[in-house]
Amino acid sequence: MHLPLPPPDASAILLGLTPEQLGALFGSGGIPSPLVKGQYLHWDELRHRPPPDGLSHEHWWVRIKLARQGQYKELPLLDKAGRPFVIGIPEPVQIALHHIDRDAAGQIAAASPMHGEQRDRYLMHSLIEEAITSSQLEGASTTRRVAEQMLLAGRRPRDASERMIFNNFRAMEVIRAMRNEAITPESILELHRIVTEGTLEQPGDAGHLRQDDEISVRDQRDNTLLHQPPPWQELPERLERLCAFANQAENASPYVHPVLRAILLHFMLGYDHPFADGNGRTARALFYWSMARSGYWLVEFISISHFLRQAPSQYVRAYLHSESDDNDATYFAIHQLDTMRQAIAALHEHLARTAQEQRQTEQLLAGSSALRSRLNHRQITLLNHALRHPGEEYRLDRHQRMHGVVYQTARNDLLMLETLGLLTKTKIGNAYVFAALPNLRQRIEQLAADGGGR
């Protein structure tokens, strides 16, 4: 990975300017802005853009840096040299926070199927998605379909990749249970133990801080050193400081918006790298805890790792930009806010698409009120899924977990669909496996024409 070129020292440049240069600096281009055409650019990007007339790239950077420094808020989070991290609230951050406040802490439109058993089904889907993609981001190699079947069937993991995904799923469930609790160093260690159990070269590292400085962050392609974390002796104190920041009251000073607080917890755990492995998974778990604790309930239903995995280099670059430019965590915040907005938009699109597909399936059944009255919403959801995924298999335990119902209810659902001739049933070992007919749509239409199969 290309390491970003550190910015020039704006203060040193400013001190060396003549009165004429100062006049040109502040008389060019109007009021200094922290943005370049709406973007919060790092020097490594800015130096490739044409500067305003009459300014060199260095003098342009000074203008921008002065505008940013006027917005900086000093945080109680320190780098490895003991200097504080800072964060600004430029316009893109304000806009993103407004949208997330509206879309993740408010209410979903009444037309969305986000209630009751269907809400539980969407929650299960999102927990599975985050468990899988967070693990894949860290190197897990199993396919999504195999991993999903493992989690829904409740079977034991077969290899290290499946174990990573299984552990992440457990951690997400634990986070849901502890959302109203303060975070402590002990609870962070327990989260790390959960996400890494059975996946580390040294099993004893699970749930324990690293005891040496042999850990570093390197580019997997060419082994370039990207980040050297703080010394291991400082980790207990740094973890205490991180928990104090995580648990600060809303009226504490300096005020940090709850979404930014969650992002900064993610950032700092990645920066400190307190564990031999599993730092990224633990950091993202801590982010979800903080968001849930602050009342952003919709975040339970999104997967940020899904979008981080699509562009992992941008994720790493956001860290590098923040660390190389005077500890300005704004770069990382903007990247994570963009990721969250993508995830929330994808959820709303998924809900709208699923609601439309549900309506189409119900319209298919509309020809027979008798057939429609015999099917509950779980069965209609399964038929809807089967129409879109020919050849898919369905098991009782998967149906049970997906809808949050007891075994007997799941059994009755699938057996009725078999009785109606919509599913076939075979036995594999001690378990029944159901599959949709190849001509499922035609079979539904035939049942509707026959009066519901009575």
For the chain, give the percent of residues with pLDDT over 90.
51
pLDDT at 109: 42
DSSP string over 303-345:
-HHHHHHHSHHHHHHHHHHHHHSTTBTHHHHHHHHHHHHHHHH
Whether 355 has a pLDDT exceeding 80, the answer reads no
Alpha-carbon span 328 to 4, nearest angstrom = 14
pLDDT at 110: 37
User: pLDDT band at 118, cuts 50/70/90?
Assistant: low
- Across the chain, what does the average pLDDT equal? 88
pLDDT at 52: 87
* pLDDT, tens digit, 9 for 90 and up, residues 382-420: 888 888 877 788 889 888 888 888 999 999 999 999 999
pLDDT at 368: 60
For the chain, give the percent of residues with pLDDT over 70.
93
pLDDT at 112: 47
Instruction: Give me the mean pLDDT over the 120-147 stretch.
Output: 79
* pLDDT, tens digit, 9 for 90 and up, residues 121-131: 667 777 788 88
pLDDT at 120: 63
Alpha-carbon span 209 to 274, nearest angstrom = 6
Domains of the chain: 10-70 (no CATH), 74-349 (1.10.3290.10), 367-449 (1.10.10.10)
Q: What is the biggest distance separating any 2 CA atoms in the chain, rounded to whole angstroms?
A: 93
Whether 179 has a pLDDT exceeding 70, the answer reads yes
DSSP string over 150-181:
HHHHTPPP-SHHHHHHHHHHHHHHHHHHTTTS
Q: Give the C-alpha distances (Å, rounded to integers) separating 104 from 67, 100, 331.
A: 31, 5, 22
Instruction: Give me the mean pLDDT over the 362-375 stretch.
Output: 72
pLDDT at 140: 81
pLDDT at 450: 74
* pLDDT, tens digit, 9 for 90 and up, residues 421-446: 999 999 888 888 999 888 888 888 88
Nearest to residue 132, comparing CAs of 166, 92, 95? 166
Contact between residue 230 and residue 213 where contact means Cβ atoms under 8 Å apart: no
* pLDDT, tens digit, 9 for 90 and up, residues 233-246: 999 999 999 999 99
Q: Is 47 helix (H, G, I), strand (E, B) or coil?
A: coil
Instruction: Give me the mean pLDDT over the 349-361 stretch.
Output: 77
User: pLDDT band at 119, cuts 50/70/90?
Assistant: low
The neighbouring-strand residues paired with 177 are none
Alpha-carbon span 47 to 61, nearest angstrom = 9
Dihedrals phi, psi of 338, to nearest 5 degrees: -60, -40
Contact between residue 145 and residue 391 where contact means Cβ atoms under 8 Å apart: no
Dihedrals phi, psi of 68, to nearest 5 degrees: -70, -40
* pLDDT, tens digit, 9 for 90 and up, residues 32-45: 899 999 999 999 99
Instruction: Give me the mean pLDDT over the 185-190 stretch.
Output: 97
